[in-house]
Amino acid sequence: MDILGIDHVEFYVGDARQSAFFLCTAFGFHVVGHGGPEVFGSAQTGLDAQRTLLLSHGDSRVLLTSALNSAHPADGYVSRHGDGVAVIAFAVPDAAACYEQAVAAGARSVEPPRVGKNPQGTVTTAVVGGFGDVVHRFVQREGTAFWPGVIEPQEPAPHRESDLVRAIDHAAFCVPAGELEDTVDYYRRVFGFKLIFEEYVEVGSQGMYSQVVQSGSGTATFTIIQPDMSRDRGQIDDFLTWHGGPGVQHLALSTDDIVAAVRTFSDRGAGFAVTPGAYYDVLGDRIGATDLPVERLRPLGILVDRDHWGQMYQIFSKSMHIRRTYFWELIERHGARTFGTSNIPALYAAKERELADVRDSVELGAAGLR
C-alpha cells in the first residue's frame, strides 16, 4: 500500500476549545481551521453534531473534535476512554484504491470513499478500522484545501516564535496481553507495514513487549506495546485500565531543537518527565561523545540513545489527561532511523516515577469513586 505519511491525527475530546487552548498555550500549536454548526461570514460547514478545530505546528496537523449530541461517535468514545486519539489519517495518492485494498485484506469498513470540493481543491477520504476504537482515514489531496465541507480555514493568531515542532515522528499503541502479535500482523497484512524493531523492556519488577512497524515508505511508524502478565502490574496495565481498553498512548513530535522546545514548552506550562542525575553520570560510557552537550541535556531531563545510523534525543511529557493516559513525546534525530535499546527503559522508568505518585487517585477516578 502506498502510504505517503501521516496526514493528520484526530482526537475526540470533551471540549475542543479547551483542548485547543492547552495545546496552543503549552505546545505552540495554532488554530488554522474550524468546523461546526456556526456560520462564519459566508462559510458554513453544516456539522450539526460536532465541533472540530484544526491545529497545526510545523507540518503536524491535529483535529480536535467534540460531540454536540449523543449521535456523534465522539460522545461514546469520550465516555469510554476520556479524551484521546480516535483517528490516524494516512496521506495516500488514491484513497479509493487504498480503501478497497484494505477491506479486501480484512479491514473493517467504517466509511466508504467520499469526495469534498471547493475552489481551493478536492479531497477524497475513506475510513477503515485500525485497532480497538482507533480507525484510519485515507486522505487523497488535489490542491490546497484541507477538507472541503468539513473544515473551513481561518487565519492563525499572530505569533512571533518560529516553529519548534517539525512533524509527527511516530505513535505508540498499548494493547492487552496476548494481542501484540495479532495487531502487528494486522498492520503488516492490511497496510503493508514492515516489522523494523522489537524489544523486551524491563522497568524494575515490570515488563513489556514492544514491536515497531513502519510503512513501506518509512513515513508512518507505530510502536505497539503489550504488558508482561508474568511480572508486576505496571504502566501499560494502568493505561489499559484507565483508558478502558487498547488505545494510543502517545504521539511523538519531531523537532530540530529539542533543548529549545523543552525550555519553551516548560515555560508555557507543559511538564516533562524527570531524569535522575545518575543517568548522565554514565552516559559517556554508554553512548560515547554526544552531538549535544550533556550540560544542556541534564537540567532538562532529555535522554540520549543511538541506533546503527546515528543519535536520537527524547523526552516524555507529563500527562495532563484526567485519567493520566495520553501524553506527548519530543524527539530530535541525528541520523537515527529507528529506536535505541537504552532509552526505552529510561523513558518508561521516568513515566513510572510520575505515575507512582498519582496511581491510587487515578484508579479511584477511573472507577467513578472520586
What is d(CA 244, CA 240) in angstroms, rounded to the nearest whole number? Answer: 6
| Residue 369 confidence (pLDDT) above 50 | no
| Residue 59 confidence (pLDDT) above 90 | yes
User: Cβ distance 56 to 83 under 8 Å?
Assistant: no
Buried b (16+ CB within 10 A) or exposed e, 148-165: bbbbbbeeeeeeeeebbb
**Mean pLDDT of all residues in the chain?**
92
More confidently predicted of 157 and 1: 1
What domains sit in the chain, N to C, each tagged with a CATH number? Answer: 5-153 (3.10.180.10), 167-365 (3.10.180.10)
Q: What is the pLDDT of residues 72-98, one digit of tens each?
A: 999 999 999 999 999 999 999 999 999
Q: What is the pLDDT of residues 24-45, one digit of tens each?
A: 999 999 999 999 987 554 455 6
pLDDT recorded at residue 46: 67
| Residue 140 confidence (pLDDT) above 90 | yes
Residue 287, helix vs strand vs coil: helix
Q: How confident is the model at residue 324 (pLDDT cuts 50, 70, 90)?
A: very high
| Secondary structure (DSSP) of 176-233 | -TT-HHHHHHHHHHHH--EEEEEEEEEETTEEEEEEEEE-TTS--EEEEEEE-TTS--
Q: What is the pLDDT of residues 258-288, one digit of tens each?
A: 999 999 999 999 999 999 899 999 998 889 9
Average pLDDT rounded to a whole number, residues 190-212: 94
Buried b (16+ CB within 10 A) or exposed e, 99-124: bebbbeeebeebeebeebebeeeebb
Return the closest-CA partner of residue 263 out of 161, 343, 348. 161
Q: Are strands 194-203 and 134-143 parallel, antiparallel or unpaired?
A: unpaired
Backbone angles phi, psi at 91, to 5 degrees: -80, 130
Average pLDDT rounded to a whole number, residues 350-360: 76
Average pLDDT rounded to a whole number, residues 327-353: 87
Grid coordinates representing 103 are: 477491506
Grid coordinates representing 82 are: 476520556
247 exposure class (CB count in 10 Å sphere: 0-12, 13-18, 19+): buried
pLDDT recorded at residue 370: 39
User: Cβ distance 50 to 63 under 8 Å?
Assistant: no
Does the model's pTM come out above 0.85?
yes
Q: What percentage of the chain exceeds 70 in pLDDT?
A: 94
Query: What residues form DSSP beta bridges with 141?
Result: 123
